[in-house]
Amino acid sequence: MSYRFKGAPRQHALAAATLAALSCVAMSASAADRIDLAALANADSHDQFIVKYRDGSAARSNAANLSRSLDSAAAGFSGKGRALGLKHLRRIGTGADVVQAGRKLDRAEAQSLMQQIALDPSVEYVEENARMTAFFTPDDTRFGEQWGYGASGINASQAWDVSTGTGVVVAVIDTGITSHSDLNANILPGYDFISDSTAARDSNGRDSNPADQGDWFAAGECGVSYSNNSSWHGTHVAGTVAAVTNNAKGVAGTAYNAKVVPVRVLGKCGGTLADIADAITWASGGTVSGVPANANPAEVINMSLGGSGACGSTYQAAIDGAVGRGVTVVVAAGNNNGNASNARPANCNNVITVGAVDSAGKRSVWSSTQKSNYGTVVDVAAPGSNILSTLNSGTTTPGSESYASYGGTSMATPHVAGVVALLQAKSATPKTPAQIETILKNTVRAFPTTPDQPIGAGIVDAKAALDSLGGGTPNPGTQTYSNAADVSIPDNNSVGVTSSIVVSGRSGNATSSAQVAVNIVHTYQGDLVVDLIAPDGSVYNLHNRAGGGTDNIVQTYTVNLSSEPLNGTWKLRVSDRASLDTGYINSWSLTF
């Protein structure tokens, strides 16, 4: 909820019902048009607010004047017959101030206090320091490969011949980061912006350590009746952006030669608007009082988080500041099966808002109530169902590194942020955020079928976006090529079936340590013979009826292909040599 005043407030009569509910406080007509009661409805109590005083005003000039202004507002407020004090906490990077009430307020009291503060003509706007939460829907279905990088996703496997994100920095504003050997090499120093030490779980509030301490909570905490384990959401998102790739283990990142600056804003019960606004400012190279400058300003910011309500002045000011510094801000549309115009920061101006699709190109559905948000504010769509990435095994505090499949627009967003990194790395001169948005929209892949609700111009296509830049030559070095299309394996058929990968634009031969990653779903390994067939017809056996009755083959094989030219059609051939058990090729990839 936000009030904005263009000049001295004019008295405006509220409806009788509103007068009764909100203590008869008068306000300007322009402010009334900007009331978002739904924003206050998301919590039972409220105690922090963001106040922006006009540049040049007395309250803006020094602490004493600011204190007097707050004392005046508190003196004019009377909620349930109890006096109230207002304390100044800090000034955030956008120039607004965070203030705290002396006690928790209910919705009507919070509304009344905000109106009382807004009666000061030097106040430009006032809004609640609302709490945001991560946009994600955990999904424990695990895939051996990341379908989102193939032809049914963002077509990254072809894009990597052109750009891998080298030299670009992506800030992931989220829960922080956990140590992971498939991610650490691409992580730069970040910052912990959680100002509440209880929510931060590190006993000291803001500091230079962005390590994720866990966002778990017990039943009855955070205003809900259920408990929840730690999500390690930031680690999952960061892995999709830039997991270490071509290291013979784990998963690939969208822009795997880019670097990630982890910025921690979400802890126990989420994170506050003021902390997130400061994180946006800092990540983009702006100045935040009391925080050292970011040594690695981002070119892209990923925000897989949000809450309901209008964008608000604080969010918009922080985003506009980042965009003004040339930073592209990519945000999640949300998972509530609603119009994203009611979700922030998805509904803010100057952001790229991302919806989610599944492997069939349909709007993602995670449960009866959790589906990708939609609407005209959604710009593009990207893979958001069953997305495999880096994670941690701890249920509360950090444990060992792991991998897991999650679903949500949170998972779609880093695919797009990664593509932005690919674009900026290839572009001769940095593209503006507006130019990046235009490129993404103009080069999308059409939805296979029209979505049941609008979720953007189409599905982001990394290769097409890069091709639109023109010029350039393929990057040297190791590349990964994938095919995630399912191929049924006939029972007791020695001829078998094949799945193909076409490699082009390369020169020379493959390596002596090429990696062939195979994901075959089958109820009896001992029936199967699996071969890699080179473009010239040479056969390299990978699996020959080993494993007995073990289900499935999910394995990466190292093969000496140094005698084989890179370019051409490579095939994975699978034959079932006995009766009864059946299955299919789920996906496979070549790395050389």
Active-site residues, by number, are: 174, 233, 410
- Omega of the bond leading into 565 within 30 degrees of 0 (cis): no
Token pair listed for 128:
């609640």
Q: Name the 3-class secondary structure at 147.
A: helix
Token pair listed for 361:
């190109």
**237, 255 Cβ separation under 8 angstroms:** no
Q: Which residues pair with 128 in a beta bridge?
A: 49
Token pair listed for 454:
């609008």
What is the rounded CA–CA span in Å between residue 327 and residue 49?
27
For residue 539, how many other CB atoms are within 10 A of its CB? 10
Positions of E strands within 436-513: 480-483, 487-489, 493-503
What lies within 8 Å, CB to CB, of 404 at 6+ separation is 138, 140, 142, 236, 388, 389, 391
End-to-end CA distance of the chain: 53
The runs of H, that is alpha helices, within 375-456 are 409-426, 433-442
Write the DSSP string, 551-592.
Answer: --EEEEEEE--TTSBSSEEEEEEEEE-SSS--EEEEEEEEE-
Strands 352-357 and 380-383: parallel
With residues binned 3-state (H G I as helix, E B as strand, rest as coil), the percentages for the chain, rounded to 5, are: 20, 30, 50
**374, 455 Cβ separation under 8 angstroms:** yes
Token pair listed for 346:
């998805």
DSSP label of 541: E
Q: Name the 3-class secondary structure at 352.
A: strand
Query: In which residue are the tokens 């993602």 written?
Result: 364
What is the rounded CA–CA span in Å between residue 101 and residue 117?
12
User: Cα dist. 384→137, 154, 214, 407, 414 in Å?
Assistant: 10, 11, 23, 5, 10
Of the candidates 515, 518, 505, 516, which has an alpha carbon nearest to the alpha carbon of residue 565? 505
Token pair listed for 511:
């390596």
Q: What is the largest CA-CA distance in the chain?
A: 86
Q: List strands edge to edge, sheet with 169-174.
A: 191-192, 259-264, 169-174, 300-303, 328-332, 352-357, 380-383
Burial class (CB in 10 A: 0-12, 13-18, 19+), 537: exposed
